[in-house]
Structures are given as C-alpha cells and as structure tokens.
Amino acid sequence: MDAASNPLDDPAADPFEVARDAAARIAELTGVDRHDVALTLGSGWGAAADLIGETTATVPAGEVPGFSASGVAGHSGTLRSILLPSGARALVIGARTHFYEGHGVRRVVHSVRTAAATGARVMVLTNGAGGIKEHWTPGTPVLISDHINLTAASPLEGATFIDLTDLYSRRLRELARGIDPALDEGVYVQFRGPHYETPAEVQMAKAIGGHIVGMSTALEAIAARQAGMEILGFSLITNLAAGISPDPLSHAEVLAAGKAAEPVIGALLAKVVAAL
C-alpha cells in the first residue's frame, strides 16, 4: 500500500475504524485471532523479537491498512506474531512512524491503536534515546517513569480528556526491576526532531525535570492509555544528549551503540515479557 492510498490520510476517516480494519487484516495474515501483549521495538531493541518466543508469522507492514513501510535506517517494516513460552501471543511492531515524518499524529499512533484492536492489554514501548544523566553510558537501558511532551501535538482529538497519572505503569516498572534490580528510570522528553537538540535545549529539558530525550514514545503512550492499555516504557540510552558529552552526535554512532547493546537488552526484554 503506498502513502497515497493510506486511509488515515483521509481527514474524514475514523482512525479507530482503520485500526479495527488493520487488526482484522493482521488476524487474517497471521492466523492469530487475538494478541495479548504488543511491543514496539525501537533502535537497538530489534533482537528481542527473536528471544521472546517463536515467530509464527511475519507480515510486511505495507500490507496492513494504515501502515506504511518505514524509511528510517534501523527500523524494519514488519509486524510479527510471536508465540510466548506461556502460550500467550505477542504482536511485535517493527514499523514505527515518527512524528517528524510529517504524516500527522494519526499515522504516528496507528500501530498502538491497532495493537489495542488486536486485543493487547499491555503495550511495551521501546526506543533509542539520548541520556541527560552523565553516568548513563551508551548501551544503558532505562525505564521510563513519566514523560514531558514537547511536540505541541496530541493523538487525542476534540474534547477528549484522558488522565495520564501513572501513564507508565508502576506495577510493570516494579515487575521489570524485579528482573533487573539495576534498572534506573527517568522522565522521557519527546522533542519533534528530526534534528537532535542543541545543548541549550538539553539544559532546558533537564531544568523542567527530564532525564531522557527522544522523538517517539510520548505520543504513542497517550494513545495507548486512551485505548485502555497498561504501558511499559524502555529507553536504550545510545548517546549522551547534546552538550552532556563534549562529542557531537552522529546517527551512525547511535546505531552502533544500539547494535552493541542488542543481545543484553533483548535478553532483558524477553525476561520481562515472560513475566507479564
């Protein structure tokens, strides 16, 4: 399905109806009627898919209504159905649409709404991000405890007032720390991107209570909460945020840090998913 035919680009479309259509197509293509948990795997987290269970179906995202194949290096454009050792089914989303791509918030949160429509009650959101705490060396996974949304956008339309207290479930964070007691946590600040922050913007993020800077997860978490899912958020710190380290940021270095951390964080995520 090319971008021009994406049903979400029609302003008159109901995004929840498109999500239900997408879930029906996923059921058809995977042979799995209902998924229990969904995971979005961001930069560095891709290896987890192979560690959490047996992949029973892989679907190119472009075959599912509302999705488009991702154009960003390091983001694979597939949806996978995985049978967990417990017998539960996981939907793994390897096709994230970022806000900076400019296709609108409906496209950004479509994967989350689709996950909810497949039946998932837990949404695991992962990303690669910049760290503001100096002791977070590249390759450190951290739990997201809360977020600050600096995109000036929302996936909610109209007078839809949704409570975001405990958005990143305390219960799930404690469960994750039960598996790795060394896991630190922090407040995720979503910028619009795609440029990285200036050092002054990173100091602002720090001053307002942020610890992690990224370009993806906050908008998705809001949509997941609207859909009634319980949310677990993980950032892989692939770089220190601009100005925290004296070195400039490069996308190649970010990808390399993610690659190096893959086996460790993949194993961590597999254990967490097994315990959900």
Residue of closest CB approach to ligand 8IG: 130
Question: CB count, 10 Å around CB of 34?
Answer: 12
Structure tokens at 276: 């959900």
* One residue of 144, 187, 215, 232 binding ligand 8IG per CB under 6 A: 215
Q: Does 254 bind ligand 8IG (CB under 6 A)?
A: yes
Active site residue 197: yes
Is 70 in a helix, a strand, or coil? coil
Of 21-29, 58-66, 105-113, 207-215, which part binds ligand 8IG (CB under 6 A)?
A: 207-215
Of 25-33, 49-57, 61-69, 210-218, which part binds ligand 8IG (CB under 6 A)?
A: 210-218
Bridge partner list, 212: 131, 188
Determine how β-strand 184-190 pairs with β-strand 212-214.
Answer: parallel
* One residue of 7, 60, 62, 193 binding ligand 8IG per CB under 6 A: 193
Of 31-39, 143-151, 193-201, 218-226, which part binds ligand 8IG (CB under 6 A)?
A: 193-201
- Residue 80, CA atoms < 13 Å, CB-side half-sphere: 22
Q: 183-204 burial, b if ≥16 CB within 10 A, otherwise e?
A: bbbbbbbbbebeebbeeebbbe
* One residue of 41, 115, 124, 213 binding ligand 8IG per CB under 6 A: 213
Question: Residues interacting with ligand 8IG, by CB under 6 A?
Answer: 43, 128-130, 191, 193, 196-197, 213-215, 238-239, 241, 249, 254
